[in-house]
DNA sequence: GAGACGTGGCT
DNA sequence: TAGCCAAGTCT
């Protein structure tokens, strides 16, 4: 800790005592709750997380409860939050904690960081907030606050920038109050020291802020440009047989890992939509289909690409569908679809089917 | 170490 | 519309 840090800590902690948000995971000393909230909050807004956190804690109130739950139910509860590897890792880590740590989270940063889904930030956050240890935690908010406070001109996500910001995060940390201090920095970053139009006039640290003094606060942190995202056209089959439809579970790793979907895939150059869909079903399920009426068109933006998806009602012509690329496939009724974890688009298709399936005038669930 | 990995909100 | 985020981690 260097001299100016004492002032920073005093100003910030005093501000935090007046302005700390009341959040469901704050004020409770349960390390499990802190852990769950930190994983949910990765790349995700507080307002989005709150209802998920409450449902999660009601269903999985402890490490043991989570460790014993089937993955499908874990993913179903996570559905809509995105970055599903977080849920898979949380589940795996709970099983490791149950088997190797007697159901109690390890208290040391290094041990926490060995668990799946817990990186440098989350380990520091849990160690400081749940166990009172003097650990720094550099997240997007703290990165921005520190880059401005100390006018860090290095690209924030470069190795040199990262190293400098972690060093600053450790240097400003007040002994014995790291947990509150880290949370105070994050609250400041999300409410006042915002990416655009920061509210410097009401910031408790404004008199100490280098970037503010130089008028470059909006240019900090220095971010590198992102590459443009491709736009794909994809198809999906709502394959019907008797009163059931076919769904497939995606492989456990990668995009939407472990989630269920209506089979289909990317259109290749020169293909018509039905041609592409017939080819995909041949490749994925070893079956020949007849492509019928279009059920809907869905636009969706993922992190690194964007899709336009055309969903079609289909019938089997030849072959018994086999899980060639999927983890498994299932024939289910429309009413059963709700129990299977799905990403945004496939859930929209499911809901559309349920609407068509339900007699008119009946209220929706 | 650059790219993969979701979704919703706002511009 | 397309772009840009918002409490990161993993490979």
Burial annotation A57-88 (CB, 10 A radius, 16+ → b, else e)? beebeebeebbebeeeebbbbbbebbbbbbbb
- Three-class SS state of A207: helix
Determine if strand C comes within 7 Å of the CB of A89. Answer: yes
Q: What is the pLDDT of residues A124-150, one digit of tens each?
A: 999 999 999 999 999 999 999 999 999
Task: Please give the protein residue whose CA is closest to the C1' of the nucleotide B6.
Answer: A82
DSSP A293-315: EEEEEEEEE-SS-EEEEEEEEEE
Whole-angstrom Cα distance, residue A347 to residue A14?
46
Nearest nt to the CA of A82 via C1' is B6
Whole-angstrom Cα distance, residue A236 to residue A309?
7
Digits of tens for pLDDT over chain A (365 positions)?
566 777 999 999 999 999 988 899 997 779 999 999 999 999 999 999 999 999 999 999 999 999 999 999 999 999 999 999 999 999 999 999 999 999 999 999 999 999 999 999 999 999 999 999 999 999 999 999 999 999 999 988 888 999 999 999 999 999 999 999 999 999 999 999 999 889 999 999 999 999 999 999 999 999 887 777 899 999 999 999 999 999 999 999 999 999 999 999 999 999 999 999 999 999 999 999 999 999 999 999 999 899 999 999 999 999 999 999 999 999 999 999 999 999 999 999 999 999 998 765 454 43
Cα–Cα distances in Å, from A76 out to A84, A260, A301, A343? 10, 10, 21, 10
Determine if strand C comes within 7 Å of the CB of A302. Answer: no
Strand C contact residues in chain A (99-118), C-beta within 7 Å:
116-118
Strand C contact residues in chain A (238-277), C-beta within 7 Å:
none
Nearest nt to the CA of A140 via C1' is C7
For strand C, the positions having any atom within 7 A of a protein Cβ are: 1-10
Q: Given this model, what pLDDT does residue A359 score?
A: 63
User: How far does the CA of A42 sit from the C1' of B5, in Å?
Assistant: 12
User: How far does the CA of A197 sit from the C1' of B10, in Å?
Assistant: 14
Catalogue the active-site residues of A.
38
Q: Given this model, what pLDDT does residue A365 score?
A: 37
For strand B, the positions having any atom within 7 A of a protein Cβ are: 1, 3-9
Strand C contact residues in chain A (17-56), C-beta within 7 Å:
23, 37-38, 41-46
Secondary structure letter of residue A108 according to DSSP:
S
Whole-angstrom Cα distance, residue A69 to residue A56?
12
Q: Given this model, what pLDDT does residue A344 score?
A: 96
Task: Please give the protein residue whose CA is closest to the C1' of the nucleotide B1.
Answer: A159
Determine if strand C comes within 7 Å of the CB of A182. Answer: no
Residue A199, sorted as left (phi over 0), alpha (psi -120 to 50) or beta, turns out to be beta
Domains in chain A (CATH in brackets) are: 3-219 (1.10.340.30), 231-357 (3.90.79.10)
Nearest nt to the CA of A93 via C1' is C9
Q: Given this model, what pLDDT does residue A360 score?
A: 57
Whole-angstrom Cα distance, residue A185 to residue A164?
17
User: How far does the CA of A287 sit from the C1' of B7, in Å?
Assistant: 33
Q: Given this model, what pLDDT does residue A146 score?
A: 96
Q: What is the pLDDT of residues A23-61, one digit of tens each?
A: 999 977 799 999 999 999 999 999 999 999 999 999 999
């Amino acid at each position: 800790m260097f001299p100016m840090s004492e002032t920073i800590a005093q100003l910030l902690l005093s501000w935090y005592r007046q302005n700390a948000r009341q959040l469901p995971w704050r004020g409770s000393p349960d390390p499990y709750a802190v852990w769950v909230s930190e994983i949910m909050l990765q790349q995700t807004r507080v307002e989005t997380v709150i209802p998920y956190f409450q449902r999660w804690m009601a269903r999985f109130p402890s490490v043991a409860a989570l460790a014993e739950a089937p993955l499908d139910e874990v993913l179903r509860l996570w559905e809509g939050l995105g970055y599903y590897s977080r849920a898979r890792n949380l589940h795996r880590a709970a099983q490791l904690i149950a088997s190797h740590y007697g159901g109690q989270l390890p208290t040391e940063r290094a041990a926490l960081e060995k668990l799946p889904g817990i990186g440098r930030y989350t380990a520091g956050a849990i160690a400081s907030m749940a166990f009172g240890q003097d650990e720094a935690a550099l997240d997007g908010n703290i990165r921005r606050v520190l880059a401005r406070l100390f006018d860090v001109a290095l690209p924030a996500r470069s190795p040199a920038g990262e190293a400098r910001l972690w060093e600053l995060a450790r240097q400003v940390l007040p002994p014995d109050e790291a947990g509150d201090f880290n949370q105070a920095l994050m609250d400041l970053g999300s409410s006042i020291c915002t990416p655009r139009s920061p509210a410097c006039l009401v910031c408790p640290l404004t008199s100490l802020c280098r970037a503010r003094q130089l008028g470059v606060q909006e240019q900090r942190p220095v971010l590198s440009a992102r590459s443009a995202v491709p736009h794909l056209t994809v198809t999906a089959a709502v394959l019907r047989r008797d009163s059931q439809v076919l769904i497939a579970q995606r492989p456990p790793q990668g995009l939407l890992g472990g989630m269920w979907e209506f089979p289909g895939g990317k259109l290749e150059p020169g293909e018509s939509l039905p041609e592409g869909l017939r080819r995909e079903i041949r490749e994925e399920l070893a079956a020949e289909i007849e492509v019928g009426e279009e059920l809907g068109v869905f636009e969706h933006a993922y992190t690194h690409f964007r899709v336009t998806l055309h969903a079609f009602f289909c019938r089997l012509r030849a072959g018994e569908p086999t899980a060639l690329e999927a983890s498994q496939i299932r024939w289910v009724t429309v009413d059963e679809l709700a129990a299977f974890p799905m990403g945004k688009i496939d859930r929209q298709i499911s809901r559309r089917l349920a609407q068509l399936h339900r007699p008119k005038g009946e209220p929706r669930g």
